[in-house]
Amino acid sequence: MRFRLLALSLAIGGIAWGLFSALLLLAGAQPLEFVVIFGPGYAITAGYIARVCHTPKPVWRILLWLASTLVQGYWLGWILLGAVRGELRGSTFELLSIAWWVYAFLVSVYGILGDVHETREKRQNGP
């Protein structure tokens, strides 16, 4: 249940980011470039929604959390690199973005570790 709630929180955030990102497409972003940059996030958001609605096999859950860690980690690294380079202005939006990606990254890592641990326990103790 806790992993479903975590997936729900990431799904809600992913939907919000997806709607915000779609504005770039409406503003004239190149469709192929848009898909390359934002497509993984949309795919992971679909995975979060699936995780909320279903309990996939352990390997699929772990793959979802791993992919989520990679996607969220990429965006977190991107914005932190901008901060280190002095490219951020410290706006509320930027600070909220950093907070979101830290949260999403940590939840994703927790999801991997928790699902791996839970799977090992079930294998050792039986269903």
What's the pLDDT at 15? Answer: 97
What's the pLDDT at 79? Answer: 95
Give me the amino acid identity at 66.
L
pTM of the model as a whole: 0.90
Instruction: Count CB neighbours of 20 within 10 A.
Output: 10
| Per-residue model confidence as pLDDT tens digits over 89-127 | 989 999 999 999 999 999 999 999 998 888 888 888 876
What's the pLDDT at 2? Answer: 85
- For CA atoms 28, 35, 75, 44, the dihedral sign is positive
What's the pLDDT at 115? Answer: 86
Structural domain span for residue 6: 2-125
Rounded Cα distance, 38 and 121, in Å: 36
What's the pLDDT at 1? Answer: 77
Instruction: Count CB neighbours of 4 within 10 A.
Output: 15
Q: Per the structure, how many domains does the chain have?
A: 1
| Per-residue model confidence as pLDDT tens digits over 11-38 | 999 999 999 999 999 999 999 999 999 9
Which tops the pLDDT comparison, 1 or 57?
A: 57
